Amino acid sequence: MLWRRNGTDLRALSLGPSVVSGWIQAALTDDDQEARSVNLVVPGADGEAGPPPEPGRRTTRSPSETRLPWTLVVTSGDSPALAADLNSRRQLLTSGLMALALFLTGGSYLLWRVVQRELAVARLQTDFVAAVSHEFRTPLTSLRHITELLQESDDLSPARRQSFYELLGSSTERLHRLVESLLDFSHIEHGGKRWELRELDARDLVARVVADFRKEHPGLTLALQMEWPDVEMVHGDPGALGNALWNLLDNAVKYSPDRGTICVSVGRVSGGVALAVRDHGLGIPADERKAVFAKFVRGRKALGLGIRGTGLGLAMVS
């Protein structure tokens, strides 16, 4: 209903919904068409604004634009449904941004961990190459030195010549064992190692390995004590078990600066037989007892004292 009073003269106009809807559609722009609800305000006859417009986008249309005798003010109203929709969109956008932030943070942390791990592996590999080079150098130096002595001296006594031959044999055997260990570890790591499992006596295996170890270290004052009860036959690979026991003995010598007593024992355990090597050397701190079985990893004490090693011994034993 629209009306205008002039003195005692009153003029009124009644408009139906279709007419008002047509006015609104004519007054709205394309952007305004997207509004869920629309409020129409007609200023008073004296030119003052009528009811305050609702919050939202506002469009004013003059009489020259609408061909009506009134100025129209059209605003997009925020109905409860629209407010709930906007709130839902806002929450969805916020959740999306938080998820994106978490994804970027997690991705950055994962990338940092990968880079740190690769750097650590690179450092371990560098240390491994240096250690292996030193391990190869020791027997090669002995071989070269003994060969030079044999070439320079033709009048050596048979006993001295035999001792040189024994040193050549031990150095060659040490070099051979080192190469075989590297190859075996490579095969084991890639699943290409073929185990030769058969019945064997653990006591005979330990006795043979200890005897060979004594020959390898003739100048060491070591007391290798073998303690065992009667042990049943075991099912295993004698070469692999002997190699594992040799590595434990080698570590016991290497990490026992005072050359103390090393004890080798064979005993029954639940479900099998245990071969154990005990020494009184540096020991392994509790926080390193799991890590030292990984390849290329060596203990802090060994590195601090400059004790040489490849970092593969306990990995092979494992």
Rounded to 10 degrees, the C-alpha dihedral 278/284/289/291 comes to: -130
Determine contact, residues 150/156, Cβ cutoff 8 Å.
yes
Per-residue burial over 290-301, b = 16 or more CB atoms within 10 Å of its CB, e = otherwise? eebeebbbbbee
For residues 135 and 316, what is the distance between their CA atoms, to the nearest angstrom? 16
For residues 253 and 260, what is the distance between their CA atoms, to the nearest angstrom? 9
Reported as a single tens digit per residue, the pLDDT across 131-183 is 777 778 878 888 888 888 888 777 778 888 888 888 888 788 878 878 877 78
For residues 310 and 167, what is the distance between their CA atoms, to the nearest angstrom? 23
Residue 279 pLDDT > 60:
yes
Residue 64: predicted pLDDT: 81
Alpha carbons within 13 angstroms on the beta-carbon side of residue 214 total 13
- Residue 95 banded pLDDT, cuts 50, 70, 90: very high
Reported as a single tens digit per residue, the pLDDT across 186-220 is 777 777 778 889 999 888 888 888 888 887 776 66
Give mean pLDDT, residues 77-91.
74
Determine contact, residues 27/61, Cβ cutoff 8 Å.
yes
Please write down the HEC assignment for all residues of 133-194: HHHHHHHHHHHHHHHHHHHHCCCCCHHHHHHHHHHHHHHHHHHHHHHHHHHHHHHHHCCCCC
Residue 214: predicted pLDDT: 80
DSSP, collapsed to helix, strand or coil, labels residue 82 as helix
- pTM here is 0.54
- Domains of the chain (ranges plus CATH)? 2-78 (no CATH), 83-193 (1.10.287.130), 198-317 (3.30.565.10)
Q: pLDDT over 70 for what percent of the chain?
A: 80
What is the pLDDT of the chain when averaged over all its residues? 78
Give mean pLDDT, residues 232-261.
84
For residues 214 and 221, what is the distance between their CA atoms, to the nearest angstrom? 10
